């Protein structure tokens, strides 16, 4: 095994110089070829995901496999290729300034995209004081990434499009040839990835391998590997960078003596909060938002780093009990999901042991972690539910002081920043009447949230799927306390100095969002969306929209 890996690394390294001199248009052509190959293998991709995750192939949940696999991959490939064809500096839809911070609107880029995305708006916020420059790698011969490298991507085990997104970013934004090590949980997709990315593999710029932790350790430490990117947990990061045991990690951290000194970027999860801004909601609005939040919990059996894990409401909000009851009902009616990810049952036990009052709301057939609400969790870092990522179907109900929307935002933002673990993604729900009343206070709160992605009246996973926005932890995590990680992927418009991304949706979106726990046409929508993203045209829109409306 190690001999074969050694040979693979030598061959990849030999193609480094060629890759670094390959022009943007040639790179775009390779990505477009991968897009066509992805569509060709997409039905098999979806079939294997459904088999592995226990999804009934005749159910609407098949659409989830389409959306979180081939569709997101196709969109990432297309938008990145289009950006490369625009000299890696495509014009954003709009640029505005907020003090010393530049904010670029990157989605939608056209009327067609506006309709297909249901009016979702995506922004990239740049580092304070930074200019909105793009594609520096493709213009500056002295750019830090100009020399290229060989990147090891340690793939994710939960969402199949993550590894694809990571590959594309490392190739075209970091200028590196790539070896992808498939996660053991998703190694069943190795042949699918080899088919989807055959144009890059055949050209010598990408290789794919499988293996256990020993293979990962060998690759991480290999001299030909110049950088590492991983999706996983902070514990995995520490094991790679600081050593396999807690004692070794503590010793090395104290001595500032990491085991791995090459650059390591990572996306490492989050206890994702949902800030429910108090307002006067109609019964229909309460039911809608409860169903939307339930979908944020139940999607992909809750094995998402963006899964809603802490629902923050104002203790004095008159509709708090109504909203909690509606959320309970939405979770009760959500279909049970197989707990396919290793360790889920043990993690679930830890949470219900910590919270004896936990409310089991979903069915619990064999192999299922039931949807479970942890009521009345205090807004404090000492709470187990706010300091540990569940990665199973539990969600904490957190009351923060306040009744007024503006006061709630001030307290809730501080709680999200300081009391809840992680800085990857968060969500804010605010009705349009309260939003108008808040004025600048809402954007001030969004600016103050130290998260790599904030979704307003949407879900943070949308920022992952857009590709035009960035995806990664809020900047500033130290390698000794890595939190949700460091670095970004996505960023298909190649901004040189991104800080975070923000998405804005309609408070009452129609058609219903694809993450809702019950969607009557998701299977058709997922497949049509994948083909639409490969080549968006007005002729395809009616069929795509019809599937969305029937949901």
pLDDT digits (tens, 9 = 90+) for 462-482: 999 999 999 999 999 999 999
The token duo for 521 is 């046409």
Per-residue burial over 428-462, b = 16 or more CB atoms within 10 Å of its CB, e = otherwise: bbbbeebbeebeeebeebbbebbbbbbbbbbbbbb
pLDDT digits (tens, 9 = 90+) for 225-271: 999 999 999 999 999 999 988 999 999 999 999 999 999 999 999 99
pLDDT digits (tens, 9 = 90+) for 351-385: 999 999 999 997 788 899 999 999 999 999 999 99
Is the Cβ–Cβ distance between 440 and 320 less than 8 Å?
Answer: no
Is the Cβ–Cβ distance between 422 and 389 less than 8 Å?
Answer: yes
Q: For residue 138, is pLDDT > 90?
A: yes
The token duo for 106 is 């990157």
Q: Write down the pLDDT at residue 3.
A: 81
Mean pLDDT of the region 146-151: 96
Q: Write down the pLDDT at residue 365.
A: 86
The token duo for 459 is 């879900």
- Could you tell me what percent of the chain has a pLDDT over 70? 100
CA distance 190 to 142: 36
pLDDT digits (tens, 9 = 90+) for 419-457: 999 999 999 999 999 999 999 999 999 999 999 999 999
Task: Select from 323, 298, 296, 299 the least CA-distant residue to 308.
Answer: 296
Q: Write down the pLDDT at residue 530.
A: 96
Q: For residue 19, is pLDDT > 90?
A: yes
Q: Whose structure tokens read 């963006």?
A: 306
Q: By CB neighbour count within 10 A (0-12 exposed, 13-18 middle, 19+ buried), where does 25 fall?
A: exposed
In the three-class reduction of DSSP (H, G, I as helix; E, B as strand; rest coil), residue 454 is classed as: strand
3-state secondary structure string across 93-124: CEEEEECCEEEEEEECCCHHHHHHCCCCEEEE
Task: Select from 265, 238, 207, 175 the least CA-distant residue to 471.
Answer: 265
Do the bridges between strand 121-126 and strand 498-504 make them parallel or antiparallel, or are there none, so unpaired?
antiparallel
Is the Cβ–Cβ distance between 370 and 338 less than 8 Å?
Answer: no
Q: For residue 178, is pLDDT > 90?
A: yes
Q: For residue 543, is pLDDT > 90?
A: no
CA distance 391 to 341: 9
CB atoms within 10 A of CB 33: 18
Q: Whose structure tokens read 């500032």?
A: 256
> Could you tell me the pTM of the whole model?
0.96
Domains parsed from the chain with CATH numbers: 2-91+134-267 (3.40.605.10), 272-450 (3.40.309.10)
């Amino acid at each position: 095994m190690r001999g074969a890996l050694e040979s693979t690394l030598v061959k990849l390294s030999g193609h480094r110089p060629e890759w670094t001199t390959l022009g943007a248009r040639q790179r775009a052509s390779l990505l477009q070829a991968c897009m066509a190959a992805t569509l060709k293998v997409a039905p098999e991709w979806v079939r294997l995901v459904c088999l592995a995750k226990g999804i009934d192939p005749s159910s609407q949940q098949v659409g989830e496999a389409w959306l979180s696999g081939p569709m997101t991959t196709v969109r990432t490939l297309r938008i990145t290729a289009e950006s490369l064809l625009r000299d890696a500096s495509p014009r954003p839809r709009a640029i505005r300034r907020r003090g010393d911070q530049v904010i670029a609107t990157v989605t939608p880029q056209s009327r067609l995209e506006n309709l297909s995305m249901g009016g979702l708006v995506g922004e990239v916020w740049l580092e304070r004081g930074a200019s909105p420059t793009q594609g520096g790698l493709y213009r500056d011969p002295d750019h830090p990434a100009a020399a290229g490298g060989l990147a090891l991507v340690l793939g994710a085990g939960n969402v199949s499009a993550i590894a694809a997104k990571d590959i594309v970013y490392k190739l075209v934004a970091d200028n590196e040839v790539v070896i992808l090590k498939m996660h053991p949980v998703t190694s069943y997709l190795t042949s699918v990835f080899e088919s989807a990315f055959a144009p890059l593999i055949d050209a010598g710029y990408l290789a794919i391998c499988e293996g256990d932790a020993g293979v990962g350790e060998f690759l991480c430490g290999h001299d030909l590997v110049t950088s590492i990117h991983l999706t996983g947990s902070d514990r995995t990061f520490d094991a790679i960078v600081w050593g396999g045991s807690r004692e070794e990690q503590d010793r090395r951290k104290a001595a500032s003596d990491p085991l791995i000194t090459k650059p390591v970027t990572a996306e490492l999860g989050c206890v994702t909060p949902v800030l429910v801004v108090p307002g006067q909601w109609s019964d229909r609005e309460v039911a809608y938002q409860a169903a939307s939040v339930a979908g944020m919990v139940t999607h992909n059996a809750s094995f998402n780093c963006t899964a809603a894990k802490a629902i923050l409401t104002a203790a004095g909000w008159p509709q708090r009990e109504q909203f909690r009851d509606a959320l309970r009902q939405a979770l009760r009616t959500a279909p049970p999901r197989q707990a396919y990810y290793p360790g889920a049952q043990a993690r679930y036990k830890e949470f219900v042991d910590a919270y004896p009052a936990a409310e089991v709301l979903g069915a619990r057939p064999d192999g299922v972690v039931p949807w479970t609400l942890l009521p009345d969790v205090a807004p404090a870092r000492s709470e187990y539910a706010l300091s540990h990522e569940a990665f199973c179907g539990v969600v904490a109900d957190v009351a923060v002081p306040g009744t007024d929307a503006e006061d709630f935002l001030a307290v809730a933002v501080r709680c999200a920043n300081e009391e809840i673990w992680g800085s990857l993604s968060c969500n804010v729900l605010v009705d349009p009447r309260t939003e108008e009343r808040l004025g600048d206070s809402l954007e001030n709160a969004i600016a103050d949230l130290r998260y790599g992605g904030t979704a307003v009246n949407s879900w943070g996973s949308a920022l992952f799927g857009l590709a035009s926005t960035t995806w990664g932890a809020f900047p500033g995590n130290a390698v000794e306390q890595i939190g949700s990680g460091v670095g970004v992927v996505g960023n298909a418009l190649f901004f040189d100095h991104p800080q975070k991304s923000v998405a804005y949706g309609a408070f009452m979106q129609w058609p219903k969002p694809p993450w809702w726990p019950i969607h009557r046409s998701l299977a058709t929508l997922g497949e049509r969306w994948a083909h639409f993203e490969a080549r968006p045209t007005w002729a395809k829109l009616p069929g795509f929209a019809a599937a969305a409306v029937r949901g």
